[in-house]
Chains A and B, each alone.
Chain A
């Protein structure tokens, strides 16, 4: 039995949901969807859907301990919990449910609040609109971080780790940490450069003027990347007539910035070579280039890999080229800015 297409919220919905792929083989739902389930209003993806189905067909449920039918012990603790066994959840290999193109960006209607609470429509200027995007646990964040940092070694996609809502805790705090890391590392590198130069009494002042502009600059750079690249991809898809979740893309971009963190945090280390007067500046610059390039390539690779799987389905090569081109341009610009403004020697 298939669920009909349901709309996400009361009226102002962006896209229709296709839940067919959710129920087949899904280990959350131990029963077929009941005939009594109302199409048209979805009260939360996880627990309450299963709860209503459990109540209508109790005979086909085998609860693990038999005592309480509503003890969902296989559920993760959050709506956005990490699903390690995502391959079982989809029929055709591609993660339709969590994919970029089948959209669940949520939040417009109050009926999608976690736990199925229907508290009326939520708007972006209300705090509880955003609560759903922060419904994660520490473990999930760490798992996603590991997924990003080891992306060449596995085939899992980022979107398959999101159950219902994209996650925004990771992106905001990775970006904030990255801005601070760039500013700190940049100033530390400049400080190390100036320490040997005791003949120039103006050197400390020059060092000082860099710092606050650097903090603003790195903040602007990182948040432009975080918000601008998803906007770019979203606009391209919109021009093709498909609306996809912007927040979902922001979530992906935020995690893609994670590899830049170690790259920028250690960019001051090569400068130590020059402070010991062991070498000229060229190997120092080369080392910094290598670090930054590695960070950008690793980060961009993760981004492209995750976008590619879904863009392939569009079957449009020019779209892929445009997205790839835009991503490459963004990373090149970021690399140049980082090297020539933040870590200039």
Chain B
């Protein structure tokens, strides 16, 4: 089972007590940034997410938070907290359900690593949502729609490589379809803005 980020330093965990807090935080932040960069590259598709073996959940949490804030900012007054909460529910519950699906289909996967990959692959959608903030609503819909399609394709492509290698050949599509559905749901949430 692939280790979470923190346990790789189990040997020198005494050592990190002495270093400045900034160093500890920057190490984690750099690792999150490296993973994000890795997800955005097309290389992650062919390598089946090998760069994400050291899983951590900070990245998905940050992305989820950013997405919630973007959608919250654009929501009408009475809907704001609903939107914020709904994004969290869909992202985390969705990632858990999709991971369970892969597990039940016979995938040999660490649960948290799968959630980590699915969470990181939301990144293109978050970027698209951010870009949509600055689009005026007059050209609005068509451009947003196309942008979301590109982001959806990107996100799915990044995570499909990882998810499809988990299960047997004859049921790859069964593992990949829920991933696609998950990202479609998130894209739809963003598009509704």
Chain A residues close to B by CB (< 8 Å): 77-78, 127, 130-131, 133-139, 141, 169, 172-173, 176-177, 180, 183-184, 187, 205, 208-209, 211-212, 215
Contacts and interface: CB of A to CB of B under 8 A. Distances in A.
B104 A187 contact: no
Given A134-B104, A135-B106, A77 B170 contact: yes
Interface stretch (B8-16, B25-33, B148-156, B181-189): B181-189
B51 interface: no
Given A176-B181, A212-B83, A212-B86, A136 B174 contact: yes
B79 interface: yes
B73 interface: no
Contact of A180 (B86, B105, B185): B185
A173 B192 contact: no
Contact of B104 (A130, A137, A141, A205): A130
Interface string B71-84: 00001101100110
A183 B178 CA distance: 17
Closest 7 CB pairs of A and B: A137-B170, A134-B104, A138-B173, A137-B171, A205-B76, A134-B105, A77-B170
B62 interface: no
Contact of B171 (A138, A209, A211): A138
A180 B192 CA distance: 13
B177 interface: yes
Contacts of A184: 188
22 contacts: A77-B170, A78-B170, A130-B104, A134-B101, A135-B106, A137-B168, A137-B174, A138-B174, A139-B170, A169-B104, A173-B178, A176-B178, A177-B181, A180-B188, A184-B188, A205-B76, A208-B76, A208-B79, A209-B78, A211-B192, A212-B82, A212-B86
Contacts, number: 60
Contacts of B178: 173, 176
B53 interface: no
Interface bin, chain B: 20 to 34
Nearest to A129: B104
Contacts of A133: 104
Contacts of A183: 188
B106 A208 contact: no
A176 B181 CA distance: 9
Contacts of B185: 180
Given A136-B171, A138-B174, A212-B79, A187 B192 contact: yes
Contact of B170 (A138, A173, A205): A138
Contacts of B173: 138
Contacts of B168: 137
A337 B81 CA distance: 27
B103 interface: yes
Contacts of A176: 178, 181
Interface string B158-193: 000000000010111110011001001100100010
Contacts of A177: 181
A205 B77 CA distance: 10
Contact of A127 (B104, B177, B188): B104
Contact of B181 (A131, A139, A173, A209): A173
Given A133-B104, A138-B171, 18 more contacts: A127-B103, A134-B106, A135-B106, A138-B170, A138-B173, A169-B104, A169-B105, A172-B101, A173-B177, A173-B181, A176-B181, A180-B185, A187-B192, A208-B75, A208-B76, A211-B192, A212-B82, A212-B83
